[in-house]
Structure 1
Amino acid sequence: MHICFGSRKLFNAQYHLEENGYSSHEEWLEDWRKKRSGRFYCVGKSSYGGGTMINIYATEDDGKYMMRVQVPRCLQEQCGKYIEAYFTVDDRSGRMRRKDLEYAINHQKPITTQVFRREHKDDNCYVHLTTYVQDIPIVYTIKNGCLGIDFNANSLSVTYVKSDGNIAWCHDFPYQWKGKTCGQRKAQMRDLVCDIVRIADSLKCSIAIESLDFSKRKAQMSEESKLYNGMLSNLSTWLFKTALESRCKRFGVQLVKINPAFTSLIGMIKFMVKYGLSSGTSAGMVIARRAMKMSEAVPQCLSLPVDDGKHAWSAWNRVSRFIKKHGIRRTQLFQWTKALEGILKWEHSNPSLPVDIDKSQTKNPPIHRGEVRPDGNVQLCLFV
């Protein structure tokens, strides 16, 4: 248990008074008591005023409130039964703090009060109130489109998809987490979340993210890249989720969490080249479309008869296993037809022959010719 309300350095200073600038033990004791009495709090309860020993009331003067502190009996002869302090509450940064406090007082919600002194601000005292706020109804839903967010190692990729499933806007929000303190990373992430929710508020649309379990990701860090492992270790990934949830509730924006299965793969194969997107924004498009209950079937050239009657993810799982098996890099998927189409068809008919991924050729394969489909397109095949 922590018994030092100041710090260990201050506590040990009593044994070396002159070295720490103290002329006597009484001078040190004064600083020590000042540290110990620098903060106190009172847990609230459901009653008028919202507290037990500390109550908050609204005054007749608009915008001002009164904090009434009940003095312990041993000090009532010296200080009186109550100590009253007046303060104001202003709205800032999109927070309706004044409205929330009035709601808590009028509906007899518990208000937990914390009073603390700031030594670096001329020993001024500040009051921190914690209470329940009124639920804000969700006003922006997937009916007006959706912002899909893909969480990457160095950026947040955001893609706006309209209600008809077509892309309308995309952007990468970069952030730096290396060489920054924990507080700086948190502040940076909160600023990004504020910008994203502000965009959703202007577009009157919902937001969709992947329902990721980073605890499992951290347990499998040896399987990921060094850059991604560093992001998981140094960045509070849970902060992004919690900050986004809180901000969306405050602005009435619907937050949809979707299954993250194959979002990056589908985005790179179906949308990256088609719309000229990055791998992150293309994944964000898949996330937004999935939140709006739109399915993503594999291209016809990659489908096989075994996929008939199965869920689309079964085919995508087959493609994903093929990519991992042959070590196809993400950059190669910018021309995925050359990297996958012919190879998949050839491997399915000749599974025993090794495949050279870089050249999209098998070693000493027989000559195959292009096969014309009923729609007039040419089926991509392998040639010597």
Structure 2
Amino acid sequence: MITLQCLLEFQSEEDRQKVLDLMCKFSSAERYGYQRLLEGWPREELKKHLAQVFQINTRYADDAILKAQSILRSCQERGQSPSRVVFGGRSLFEKLKKKHLNGEKREELEKEWKEKRQGNLYSRGDRSKQGNPNLRFVWVRGELYLQINVGYRKWVYAKVVRPVKREGDKWIGFIWSLHQAEKTGKWFPYDVELKLKNGKVYAHVSIGEKFPPTIITLENGVIGIDVNAYPFHLALVEVSPDGNLVGYERISLHELLSADRDKREYLAWQVAYQVVSLAQEKGKAIAMEDLEKLPRGRRGDGFPKLRKTLQRWAYKSVLEKIEVLARRHGVAVEKRDPAFTSVIGKFKYAPQYLIDKDVAGALVIGRRALGFEEKLPEAYRCLLKDEEFLLYALAELEEKVKKLKRELKGEENEWRKKAIKAKLKATRGELKTLRAHLRALQSGEGEPASRQPADRWKEPVRGRFLGWRIKAWRVLSAALTVPVLEKFSHVKGTVRDFSPLRPILVLGDWERAVRRPVPVPGAGAAVQVV
């Protein structure tokens, strides 16, 4: 979607006041509708109720519900409590609540708060209603006006003021499309949202963007993208058409976290240009995560702090900008379910290529976009049938649970207690997974190991992941993380060195991996950086 802004000039103060009153009603309906959604009201019933209570037409009432639903959905995706949403902005609310300002500064804050809270009006587009039923652009004596529905058969006309800023200004294309629609009768939908700022009413117009034909496809491979929090960066991996790693690089995103809103937008677009330029240079499509396919809490490594960082606006904003910019330049964008990409990457490809888990996760995303399905290597299959090793791993997990309990009992700091509780919960989950696998193995219900040898050159297969394969990766993570990776980890915190898994993956020797006191000599990047 492309969003354009223009200023509205009213023919009289009376017309302006009518629109302001309507904006106040709509804003109140949005807030009221949000609370009713939390109570579980159905949409159709709520729409009629809002129209009756606030004396607005049912279209406005339905649009108020849509705005409220988008806020609720956004809040749920970020993991925030929906009941704590503050209409008008929490930062302004907190400043006013402190009451540390007086005079003109406080009046300015109160005015800004009131405008953000009460100065909104939205109408979604409709092709069958000449583009928009309630907020419609019309031509009057050769000049562009916005026709605003303020009541039954009552309209207010506001003149549109929007100078063309540059030669490539998208406003030119929008005006041309309006002219063509009026001549041909072939209308296109456009959403319009009115906002009050510094006493002036602005219209924000959102229209669908027309992209050129796709030139760069999956034929030459992909650039896999994975966003990571430790450190906060993009991992980019060049993947060949046969699914192998060609090269990789990283782009830091730390500046986005400390910059103000305008600078964040600028930096995010700069990152998008870097990624798309690389895709054009290599002649490869772009593969990224489809966040809508993954339930909240199953991203990255599963750590709360990691999820919290990744749920910031920067995470989704950067990926959206990469997608839009890529489509503008004819680069294909493939979005795939990111479930278990991190787990598969760090256990299968990190030790194989001697790369870190972030690059390995991006590689899995790229391979998934190319149609490859990740099978469990033969060595790992054999490990998951070794009852003696699994009992050893079970004992290590039980010992870790006891250790965490002792730490929790002796810790007085509440924040550290929360971190220990989170680790304890995760370890108990791994313990439960491993016990269930052992019971199935002892009863003869385990998945038989494949006799096909593991091969670096994987053959593409069709179809989706089967439940037992996903379960196998979970069991593998529970069996190897504590007894192998954490036991000999020389890095405090998140394990980032997966070279101790190489003897298992390559030689099938997990006893050697357990005994190894240090990482594999020479562990590092075995692939040239692109």
Q: TM-score, normalised to structure 2's length?
A: 0.46
Cα displacement (A) at 1:263: 3.3
Alignment of 1:210-289 (within 5 A): 210-212=289-291, 215-217=295-297, 224-225=302-303, 227-232=305-310, 234=312, 237-260=315-338, 262-268=340-346, 271-272=349-350, 277-289=355-367
Residue 301 to residue 103, structure 1, CA distance change in 2 (3 Å): same
Cross-structure match for 1:20:
103
Note if 1:336 corresponds to 2:501: yes
Structure 2 counterpart of 1:196, one-letter code:
V
Give CA deviations for 1:71-129 in whole Å, capped at 9, x if unaligned: 989xx9xxxx966445445678x98553355335523123444555653xxx7765422
Give CA deviations for 1:304-363 in whole Å, capped at 9, x if unaligned: 37223798947756643431352514444224334666675559xxxxxx9546479xxx
Structure 2: unaligned runs, 5 residues or longer:
1-27, 33-86, 97-101, 383-447, 454-465, 487-494, 520-530
Out of 448, 470, 477, the position equivalent to 1:320 is 477
- Report the RMSD for the aligned CA atoms in angstroms: 5.3
Cross-structure match for 1:306:
449
Greater Cα radius of gyration, structure 1 or 2: 1
Cross-structure match for 1:147:
223
Residue 101 to residue 207, structure 1, CA distance change in 2 (3 Å): farther
Alignment of 1:130-209 (within 5 A): 130-134=206-210, 136-153=212-229, 154-176=232-254, 188-189=267-268, 191-209=270-288
Cα displacement (A) at 1:173: 1.2
Cross-structure match for 1:371:
none
Cα displacement (A) at 1:276: 5.5
Cross-structure match for 1:372:
none
Cα displacement (A) at 1:158: 0.8
Cα displacement (A) at 1:149: 0.9
Cross-structure match for 2:137:
55
Cross-structure match for 1:102:
176
Residue 293 to residue 70, structure 1, CA distance change in 2 (3 Å): closer
Q: Distance in 1 between matches of 2:508 and 2:124?
A: 66
Cross-structure match for 1:368:
none
3-state DSSP of counterpart to 2:145: strand
Structure 1: unaligned runs, 5 residues or longer:
14-18, 348-353, 361-384
3-state DSSP of counterpart to 2:334: strand
Higher strand content, 1 or 2: 1
Structure 2 counterpart of 1:130, one-letter code:
S
Cα displacement (A) at 1:142: 0.9
Cross-structure match for 2:372:
294
Q: Distance in 2 between matches of 1:167 and 1:243?
A: 25
3-state DSSP of counterpart to 2:359: helix
Q: Distance in 2 between matches of 1:113 and 1:203?
A: 39
Structure 2 counterpart of 1:160, one-letter code:
E
Q: Distance in 1 between matches of 2:509 and 2:136?
A: 71
Count of residue pairs brought into register by the alignment: 324
Give CA deviations for 1:205-264 in whole Å, capped at 9, x if unaligned: 32212345664317x99x944642442465564445544554455444333233445534
Q: Distance in 2 between matches of 1:41 and 1:260?
A: 34
Q: Distance in 2 between matches of 1:172 and 1:284?
A: 11
Q: Is the 8 A contact 1:69 1:84 kept in 2?
A: no
Cα displacement (A) at 1:175: 1.4
Q: Distance in 1 between matches of 2:496 and 2:130?
A: 63
Q: Distance in 2 between matches of 1:69 and 1:320?
A: 60
Q: TM-score, normalised to structure 1's length?
A: 0.59
Aligned-pair identity (%): 20
Residue 238 to residue 358, structure 1, CA distance change in 2 (3 Å): same
Residue 225 to residue 131, structure 1, CA distance change in 2 (3 Å): closer
Relative contact order: is structure 1 or structure 2 higher (C-alpha 8 Å, sep ≥ 6)? 2
Residue 253 to residue 216, structure 1, CA distance change in 2 (3 Å): same
Q: Is the 8 A contact 2:217 2:331 kept in 1?
A: yes
